[in-house]
């Protein structure tokens, strides 16, 4: 057994806000503590809850940076800052992500192989976009030349989730800064440490002070950002109920732009002509990643009846075996960690208990070990049509497997939800795959894969799974406003 060291980063250093290039005491005197979900031990006390004075101060610093040095940066200068930031990540990202593991429960084993790579790649991807945001020219056939350019919005805010705090930080900050905005980041109150540790790297990379700032706190702090009259855009990743509150606050304040990446209840449609091993592998990985605490988790698996027994046998076997992978998330040999905290543990446990009366429990459904927030991977079969575990997002390692006979039937089942984030189609018939993908109500459809995101392509949901898109060129559009310039050729 081994461990990835976090000795370089002492959690006790991060009991302050990060404003205008410095760690500063909050004006608000309210604080809270952080716990490690593997045993509910206290990691750190005294995390500040930023109040209205703190948010006002952060906004003033952000506006000064936007109006001042940042506005003078050329596209190439911004690219150079991104490249230096990526270089800094090479040596400092592992300790930062390991620090977050103390309160998220995310295993440190995923850091070198997955997290570090896609976070660094996101920075490099947007480094290449700073000088490629072209506008439009429309001919003067009516005597007026029409030019369209895309301009930054100004002071923006990001409210991030607990499950991938540093990755989400970068996924929002990179397109915001590439387009010339400034950003105030509020990480989840459950996982703020990595974001606080990450912030100074931006100044080290050459970004001016105030371009990136980090404030901590729970819903009340997010509400202050959502309703602030000088913040022009808020990007939120999290639950649907909170997303709705943010949209209301944004509308009632100054009609700030909003991007919402919300919940999911992702269906995987497994047809009888699929590569069975591939379908099992993808659907298993898509429910066990971060112990099921991802919005794109494949929680509804529909299997055609003719192969249902073969699929279910393999699926159940792998889910049962995955319980052996649960353990100390700070041990680099461990693949699965606990749920993020006691409240999430109790929520998932309650849904499982109620689910026993709504479907057939075939695997798991119990706490793993005597301490901490560990839930064994859980599988239910053929739930009632209105079952809570079938209809609502669980956000834990809990999946539902349901059989179907026809394509028409499974499409109706898959689309019978208010969620529309991710889906997957498993078949060797490319015609069927394209046909089904066009009918599925989700922002992303995988063919012979599921729960996969790529930095080059837009990511986001339909229905109540969100508004707007992240990643790719589409994220750049969400941080800019088109401006039309009309030139009278007859003046």
Model pLDDT for residues 77-96, shown as the tens digit of each residue: 999 999 999 999 998 999 99
Model pLDDT for residues 8-29, shown as the tens digit of each residue: 689 999 999 999 999 999 999 9
Q: pLDDT grade, residue 4 (50/70/90)?
A: very low
pLDDT at res. 158: 98
Residue 473 in domain? yes
Query: Are 95 and 220 contained in the same domain?
Result: yes
Q: pLDDT grade, residue 113 (50/70/90)?
A: confident
Average confidence (pLDDT) over 377-403: 97
Q: pLDDT grade, residue 301 (50/70/90)?
A: very high
Model pLDDT for residues 18-65, shown as the tens digit of each residue: 999 999 999 999 999 999 999 999 999 999 999 999 999 999 999 999
Instruction: Return the minimum-mean-pLDDT range out of 2-16, 377-391, 433-447.
Output: 2-16
pLDDT at res. 262: 96
pLDDT at res. 491: 84
Query: Are 306 and 206 contained in the same domain?
Result: no
Residue 326 in domain? yes
Query: Are 180 and 286 contained in the same domain?
Result: no
Query: Are 108 and 212 contained in the same domain?
Result: yes
Query: Are 282 and 223 contained in the same domain?
Result: no
pLDDT at res. 2: 43
pLDDT tops 60 at residue 7? no
Average confidence (pLDDT) over 400-407: 98
Query: Are 226 and 272 contained in the same domain?
Result: no
Query: Are 435 and 300 contained in the same domain?
Result: yes
Indicate if 261 belongs to the active site.
yes
Query: Are 247 and 292 contained in the same domain?
Result: no
* CA distances for 408 relative to 362, 412, 413, 442, angstroms: 27, 6, 9, 17
Tally of domains within the chain: 2
Average confidence (pLDDT) over 152-179: 97
Alpha helices, H only, 323-462? 342-355, 388-391, 407-415, 430-439
Element (DSSP H or E) covering residue 136: strand 136-138
What is the average pLDDT value for the chain, to the nearest integer?
96
pLDDT at res. 305: 98
Q: pLDDT grade, residue 3 (50/70/90)?
A: very low
Query: Are 343 and 320 contained in the same domain?
Result: yes
Average confidence (pLDDT) over 128-133: 95
Residue 412 in domain? yes
Residue of 203, 261, 376, 470 marked catalytic? 261
Model pLDDT for residues 470-480, shown as the tens digit of each residue: 999 999 999 99
Residue 491 in domain? no
Instruction: Return the minimum-mean-pLDDT range out of 61-75, 111-125, 274-288.
Output: 111-125
Average confidence (pLDDT) over 104-122: 92
pLDDT at res. 9: 86
Query: Are 392 and 255 contained in the same domain?
Result: no
Residue 461 in domain? no
Q: 172 in helix, strand or coil?
A: helix
pLDDT tops 80 at residue 6? no
- The answer to pTM > 0.85 is yes
In DSSP terms, which residues pair with 486 in a beta bridge? 146
287: nearest Cα among 418, 376, 412: 376
Residue 434 in domain? yes
Residue 385 in tokens:
């049509």
Query: Are 170 and 319 contained in the same domain?
Result: no
132-146 per-residue burial string, b: 16 or more CB within 10 A, e: under 16: ebeeeeeeeeeeeee
399: nearest Cα among 264, 278, 277, 274: 264
pLDDT tops 60 at residue 325? yes
Query: Are 170 and 202 contained in the same domain?
Result: yes
pLDDT at res. 321: 97
Long-range Cβ contact pairs of 74-81 (< 8 A, separation 24 or more)? 75/130, 75/131, 76/130, 76/131, 77/206, 78/127, 78/130, 78/177, 78/178, 78/180, 79/127, 79/128, 79/130, 79/131, 80/206, 81/177, 81/202, 81/205, 81/206, 81/207
pLDDT top residue among 4 and 182: 182
Model pLDDT for residues 169-209, shown as the tens digit of each residue: 999 999 999 999 999 999 999 999 999 999 999 999 999 99
Residue 52 in domain? yes
- Cα separation, 413 vs 306, in Å, equals 18
Residue 164 in domain? yes
Domain ranges, residue 410:
266-447
Average confidence (pLDDT) over 97-106: 96
């Amino acid at each position: 057994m081994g461990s990835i060291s976090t000795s370089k980063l002492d959690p006790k250093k991060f009991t302050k806000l990060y404003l205008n290039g410095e760690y500063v005491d909050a004006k608000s005197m309210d604080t809270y503590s952080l716990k490690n979900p593997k045993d509910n031990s206290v990691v750190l006390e005294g995390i500040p809850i930023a109040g209205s004075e703190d948010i006002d101060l952060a906004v003033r610093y952000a506006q000064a940076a936007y109006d001042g040095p940042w506005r003078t940066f050329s596209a190439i200068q911004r690219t150079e800052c991104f490249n230096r930031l990526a270089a800094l990540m090479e040596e400092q990202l592992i300790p930062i992500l390991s620090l977050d593991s103390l309160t998220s429960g995310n295993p440190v084993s995923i850091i070198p192989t997955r997290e570090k790579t896609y976070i660094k790649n996101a920075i490099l991807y947007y480094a290449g976009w700073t000088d490629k945001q072209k506008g439009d020219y429309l001919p003067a056939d009516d005597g007026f030349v029409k030019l369209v350019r895309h301009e930054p919005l100004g002071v923006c805010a990001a409210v991030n989730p607990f499950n991938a705090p540093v990755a989400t930080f970068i996924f929002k900050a990179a397109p915001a800064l590439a387009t010339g905005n400034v950003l105030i980041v509020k990480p989840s109150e459950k996982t703020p440490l990595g974001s606080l540790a990450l912030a100074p790297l931006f100044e080290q990379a050459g970004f001016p002070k105030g371009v990136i700032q980090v404030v901590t706190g729970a819903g009340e702090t997010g509400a202050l950002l959502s309703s602030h009259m000088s913040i022009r855009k808020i990007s939120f990743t999290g639950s649907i109920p909170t997303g709705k509150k943010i949209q209301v606050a944004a509308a009632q304040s100054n009609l700030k732009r909003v991007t919402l990446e919300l919940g999911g209840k992702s269906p995987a449609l497994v047809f009888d002509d699929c590569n069975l091993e591939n379908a099992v592998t993808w659907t298993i990985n898509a429910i066990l990643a971060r112990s099921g605490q991802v919005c794109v988790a494949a929680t509804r698996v529909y299997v055609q009846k003719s192969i249902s027994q073969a699929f279910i046998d393999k699926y159940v076997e792998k889910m049962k075996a995955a319980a052996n992978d649960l353990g100390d998330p700070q041990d680099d040999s461990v693949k699965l960690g606990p749920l993020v905290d006691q409240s999430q543990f109790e929520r998932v446990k309650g849904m499982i208990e109620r689910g026993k009366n709504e479907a057939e429990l075939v695997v798991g459904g119990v706490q793993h070990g005597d301490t901490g927030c560990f839930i064994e991977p859980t599988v239910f079969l053929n739930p009632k049509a209105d079952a809570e575990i079938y209809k609502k997002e669980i956000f834990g390692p809990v999946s539902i497997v349901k059989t179907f006979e026809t394509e028409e039937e499974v499409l109706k089942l898959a689309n019978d939800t208010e969620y529309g984030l991710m889906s997957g189609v498993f078949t060797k018939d490319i015609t069927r795959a394209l046909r089904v993908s066009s009918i599925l109500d989700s922002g992303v459809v995988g063919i012979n894969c599921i729960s996969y995101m790529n930095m080059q392509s837009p990511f986001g949901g339909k229905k109540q799974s969100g508004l707007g898109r992240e990643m790719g060129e589409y994220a750049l559009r969400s941080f800019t406003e088109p401006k039309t310039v009309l030139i009278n050729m007859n003046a």
